[in-house]
Structure 1
Amino acid sequence: MPTYQELHSRALSISSKIETIKDQYADGKAAGIYNLLIGDSNQRTKYYKDFLIGMLKKNNCKNILDAACGTGIDSIMLIDEGFKVVSVDASDKMLKYALKARWDMRQNSKYDQWVIEEANWETLPQDIETFLPDTQFDAVICLGNSFAHLLDEYGDQRMQKLCLSNFAKCLKPGGLLFIDHRNYDAIVNSGTTPGHTFYFNSKHPVDINTSVLVVRGEPVLVILDYCVYPSDDGELKEAREFSLRYYPHKLSTFTSMLDEAFENRARHHIYGDFQPLDKVPVPAFYIHVMQKAKN
């Protein structure tokens, strides 16, 4: 377990390098290992896929903005299900994999209209305007604990609030926002992170070491050190390691920020691991579904 001084030094180093949304995949290392962690894109875990696709179809959503597309795994799942998808990410290293996936699918007409662009949450409506003018979406998704990558540079979550407001602006009246975060309340209290999630379907063993930085009694940073052991037929090969930093969102505070971003006029439902909260005593993830006011 890293010492406080080591954590504090790491936190200061991170903060000094933040420019709007920090690209934690900039060196290409984590982006490459990410696919090992995610697993087979054709076998997304049942609760996740059924929940998302079912809710999108139930609400007649057709045009989807994947606002944290990463390597494109969710976008591919949505396109295969018949949705029209625009995929954006702040990391060009992650987008490289999405672009390659689109090229590999070029013989499939479903992928002809797949738009993949680099965009920043802090300027999201303006960025989208540059390549799709006057466009709003039936749904915006920001899943896989992606939003927690945005660190709190100023100590008051002003940038998180701005980005949530931008998600709302990208939606048509009545549109849906799907956004999630790990159960940081439980992580901070226990000092551990579940290794298996509904997002990952890796066939490889995964270890996660958890570090929590607390400043003046408040958790301000969670560092997850991932270790993935690639294996064939059960034979372990050399471990692949990478670290990611997250802002530890409290459920109550994140819920309030979302309501505020939608001017306290949206329908707000919270799920635990894609199930009703009363069915999951201690969920690994909280999933928020916001429905923008229709008028």
Structure 2
Amino acid sequence: MTRANPEQSFGANPKEVRDTNHYQEEYVKSFVEKWDDLIDWDQRWKSEGDFFIELLRSRGVKRVLDVACGTGFHSVRLLSAGFDVTSADGSPEMLYKAFNNARNRGHLLRTVQADWRWLNRTVHEQFDAVICLGNSFTHLFAEHDRRKALAEFYATLNHDGILVLDQRNYDSILDQGFSSKHKYYYCGEDVIAEPEHMDEGLARFRYTFPDNSIFHLNMFPLRRKYARRLMHEVGFQHVETYGDFKGTFDANDPDFLVHVAEKEYMEDDEED
């Protein structure tokens, strides 16, 4: 028998919880402690390969701000590859777990708790790259929050810096239904991650673990063209999108999309 975790509070109408500020109540300690079972670091390392490492190196990146570090997977990978990494997250539980994960792998993680909408109040440095991974950007429900966060990312980048932002392929889920291969991002074999409710304003996902415990996350189903348009409108000059780490893909095929937005002005940039 499955059981929802009592630490998470969504009130009487969970599908009505569409609030950016609610995410801290969703990432409760008991959920964070199980998060690495969902990711499976070793399997994700194999499936992802060196995509992000090669991407950053190809653009001469040295200093990286990981604004959604979660339990530290990408921060640790990039530290291991020689990048100078600062790790941020809005959840103190995630930061605590990330710091310990890094320490257990021989790294000292430089962490900071930060709300993206006011990122530059907390982070007073410039970076060659900002990475926002793990479908984290879809915790922002209001358009003004999304624009504000993107503008903050833009401001913390050096003049030729890049933003790397990923998301689930919500177009496919909304238009074709949910079907995940679990090959790239969520590699835990015994954990089920699937939508409990989908509409144009809410993606409510249910996570079921081997001990039959259940957790939920409420997210905004970000469509690809809309995300790219927002990046252009806040100032990014060129946006390239990959589907499951491939440059060429069928729109409905990939589980995840990775956007690479360049701050440097490119005269010949083409719009969608």
Shorter chain as denominator, the TM-score bin is: 0.7 to 0.9
Alignment-derived partner of residue 181 in structure 1: 167
Alignment-derived partner of residue 123 in structure 1: 118
* Residue 143 (1) aligns with residue 133 (2): yes
Query: Which consecutive residues of structure 2, in runs of 5 or more, have no partner in the other structure?
Result: 1-9, 267-272
Residues 44 and 199 in structure 1, CA contact (< 8 A), matched pair in contact too: yes
Which whole-Å deviations, capped at 9, do the CAs of 1:143-201 have from their partners, x for residues lacking one?
Answer: 1111111223xxxx111111011111111111111001111111112342526141223
CA distance 1:207–1:70, shift in 2 (3 Å): closer
Alignment-derived partner of residue 241 in structure 1: 214
Displacement of 1:138 in angstroms is: 0.8
Alignment-derived partner of residue 201 in structure 1: 187
Runs of 4 or more off by more than 6 Å in structure 1?
A: none
Alignment-derived partner of residue 7 in structure 2: none
The code of the aligned residue for 2:77 comes to: M
Displacement of 1:293 in angstroms is: 1.4
* Residue 287 (1) aligns with residue 258 (2): yes
Alignment-derived partner of residue 77 in structure 1: 77
The code of the aligned residue for 1:226 comes to: Y
CA distance 1:8–1:274, shift in 2 (3 Å): farther
The 5 A counterparts of 1:17-28 are 18=19, 20=21, 22-28=23-29
Following the alignment from structure 1 to structure 2, what is the Cα–Cα distance between the partners of residues 7 and 212? 18
Following the alignment from structure 1 to structure 2, what is the Cα–Cα distance between the partners of residues 197 and 143? 16
The 5 A counterparts of 1:136-175 are 136-152=126-142, 157-175=143-161
The code of the aligned residue for 2:261 comes to: M
Alignment-derived partner of residue 10 in structure 1: 14
State which structure, 1 or 2, has the greater radius of gyration over its C-alpha atoms: 1
The 5 A counterparts of 1:271-282 are 271-278=242-249, 282=253
The sequence identity of aligned pairs, in percent, is 29
Which whole-Å deviations, capped at 9, do the CAs of 1:203-223 have from their partners, x for residues lacking one?
Answer: 42425243114xxxxx10010
* Residue 58 (1) aligns with residue 58 (2): yes
The code of the aligned residue for 1:173 comes to: H
CA distance 1:193–1:211, shift in 2 (3 Å): farther
The code of the aligned residue for 1:289 comes to: V
The code of the aligned residue for 1:77 comes to: R
Residues 42 and 77 in structure 1, CA contact (< 8 A), matched pair in contact too: no
Secondary structure at the residue paired with 2:24? Answer: coil
Larger CA deviation: 203-212 vs 79-88: 203-212
Residues 237 and 262 in structure 2, CA contact (< 8 A), matched pair in contact too: yes
Please give the TM-score of this superposition, normalised by the length of structure 1. Answer: 0.79
Displacement of 1:7 in angstroms is: 11
CA distance 1:75–1:207, shift in 2 (3 Å): closer
Following the alignment from structure 1 to structure 2, what is the Cα–Cα distance between the partners of residues 294 and 29? 45
Secondary structure at the residue paired with 2:173? Answer: helix
